[in-house]
Structure 1
């Protein structure tokens, strides 16, 4: 399966949007709204949302550490809530050094550049990306906020003394998974991004103790959460992150061990479930290149009425010869809907 299209390297956000039934080209609002929704912020139409990092800079705003203050950041985030020229700024800590930032008010635009330089150097000044008054005003307000974040955080005895923002996106509502396919659905995940994509598509998010989004995540607790709630829903989505992280680290052995844990602690509990089991990935992260690639990922669908093919190994090469052929991410949910009896005959 190609999450977006053959050869297109997917981000985790666009890939999940496609796989979970959205349109990655027309529905994608930018990364910021997903992070904000996943952090638990209730967004309103027209909100501008960002990803943000706590960082350390010197007096000239040269970045010393883009990922500062990995613990105790909740208090710092709350200290940054403010209003500037009639626009409200909402900051919510997610994990480690990460936050979500939301600008709420009239006359805003997401057509602005990042403050975060994404590497060494000085903090950037946000600039409008078009000639609209809304973009100019939004960039100006964001720059004022970043300056205030430096002034406020510098009063704390912590390494973090500024908030760096990136990935501006304007929130707008799109048809939910239930409106598109009729599914009552829920999500179990540890990271804010995946919770945010799920909320964006109208899925309920189940908070599970021990679901960390890291290698120490409690896979068994995720399986138990799915099994205990699936009777009240049509579709349950469980996300597991750490195999991807091991790919980014170039740690093939750690990736292998974690996949074996998924088999034993998560999949092992689902075998025998009365329904359909779909197992796939949002993208490939080869340890050889330590980043996402445009390679297709394997897909498995198990359940009553599913055509059985001759594939006996679940890997990228073997599944290329499977009965599903080579599909796109946007094809997966209609296939699932058809098996579950939620089909809509085309042309009638």
Structure 2
């Protein structure tokens, strides 16, 4: 059986931009290494979650790994917790969290505390707090990010977020999304925690020092993506594959860890525009000595899509391509290059546009360039994310 390399370029799909003479960043990019692979590849377009559905990165990856979202996806929180190696118990509720800044009247000034370098001191102040028999567990992520877990009896995950996703307004009061007593209790106790946390954070010596220095206070928690813990079958159980993950972002490590993949530590893999792509590729090649399925995630394309920087997105794609020469030499390996979703620069957000897909497997679709338009003419047609793994397994078993 052949080995499988799955490279996901986050948010790589796009729409034609005037700054690129009505081409997409992929369409305009000079990518000789990828294009040398595409000459012996099957191509198509992929709707990671479903046609006409705007994916998020969490449900997109689970779907691409062929996990039934209705059965296994409960919210982003548990995957964020997994990414930070926070152990969840049956009945726990997890959330992704931002340390934010609100003013004295409760108006949000900054959703990310000016992209503060670390929130560990603030996390340490709140971690372990108990209210109405519920324990609140916090762990810091990168920059302003953290994960919150609620632990105790009678909790429910069907509650709203408090993050309005904009500044100049107050946080939203968390409410139950159904008539169940669990959801109402969870919403009530979480609102109590958030109010108490705000008072504690506001009075912290560190925040008072930040205020004197003209820096934003980390004095409020914006929480979203509530989800209840649910065990997911591992890649080993589902596919008999020994799988590993190379990624910088916590969410992608979280999805991989939840599916039983081994997370490989790679120096310089930051999940930012400065990530060491060369180190990731070399780590992937070396990983095949031990693993037969290697998942590599690269975040930069999504970041630039959200920033609306079409030229820079094209250049970052070219930068990725310049590091891919070593994978061309891989033998007995099915190589997949695709995205988890599209992040068009024109709208600076995810969209329901399908992503281009190429599968290097010594089969020829006579496609010469990796782009949305070109891949649309491939023999795979337009597939769903859940179709990908069965296709890869079939190709890997072919001699």
Describe the SS at the equivalent of 2:381: coil
Number of aligned positions between the proteins: 339
Cα distance in 2, alignment partners of residues 223 and 284 from structure 1: 23
- CA displacement 1:36-76 (0-9 Å, x = unmatched): 11122122222101011111112222111111051131221
Higher RCO structure (Cα 8 Å, ≥6 apart) = 2
| Range 76-85 or range 246-255, more displaced | 76-85
Contact 2:118 2:142 in 1 (8 A): no
2:368 is the counterpart of 1:323? no
* Contact map agreement 2:137 2:149 (CA 8 A) in 1: yes
In structure 2, the residue matched to 1:276 is 334
> 2:118, 2:144 within 8 Å by CA — same for their partners in 1?
no
Counterparts of 2:57 and 2:81 in 1: how far apart (Å)? 15
- 1:227-284 per-position Cα deviation (integer Å, ceiling 9, x unaligned): 222221120100001111111111111101100111112x222121121211110111
Distance 1:242 1:80 in 2: 32
Please say if residues 15 and 24 of structure 1, whose CA atoms lie closer than 8 Å, have aligned partners that are also in contact: no
Over residues 298-330 of structure 1, what are the superposed CA-to-partner deviations in whole Å (9 max), with x where a residue is unaligned? Answer: 111113xx4221111111111111122211110
Query: In the alignment, which residue of structure 2 is the partner of 1:103?
Result: 150
Question: C-alpha deviations, 1:82-120, integer Å up to 9, x for none?
Answer: 222332211111122111111112211001121222223
Q: Does 1:312 align with 2:384?
A: no
Note the C-alpha offset of 1:289: 1.8
The unaligned stretches of length 5 or more in structure 2 are 1-45, 211-216
Deviations 1:103-154 (A, max 9, x none): 1122110011212222231122212222222112111221121122112211
Does 2:254 correspond to 1:206?
Answer: no
Candidates 234, 257, 260, aligned match of 1:176: 234
Are 1:65 and 2:106 matched, yes or no? Answer: no
Return structure 1 stretches of 4+ with deviation > 3 angstroms. none
SS of alignment partner, residue 51 of structure 1: strand
Aligned counterparts of 2:171 and 2:54: Cα–Cα separation in 1: 28
Residues 45, 173 of structure 1: 8 Å contact kept: no
Cα distance in 1 between the residues matched to 2:62 and 2:326: 26
116-125 or 239-248, larger mean C-alpha shift:
116-125
Tell me what 1:345 maps to.
none
Aligned ranges for residues 1-348 of structure 1 at < 5 Å? 1-68=46-113, 70-81=116-127, 82-120=129-167, 121-154=169-202, 155=204, 156-157=206-207, 158=210, 159-265=217-323, 267-274=324-331, 275-303=333-361, 306-341=362-397
TM-superposition CA deviations, 1:321-348 (whole Å, max 9, x none): 1122211110111111112229xxxxxx
- TM-score of the superposition, structure 1-length normalised? 0.93
1:53 and 1:98 in contact (8 A); partners too:
yes
Uncovered stretches (5+) of structure 1, i.e. residues with no partner: 343-348
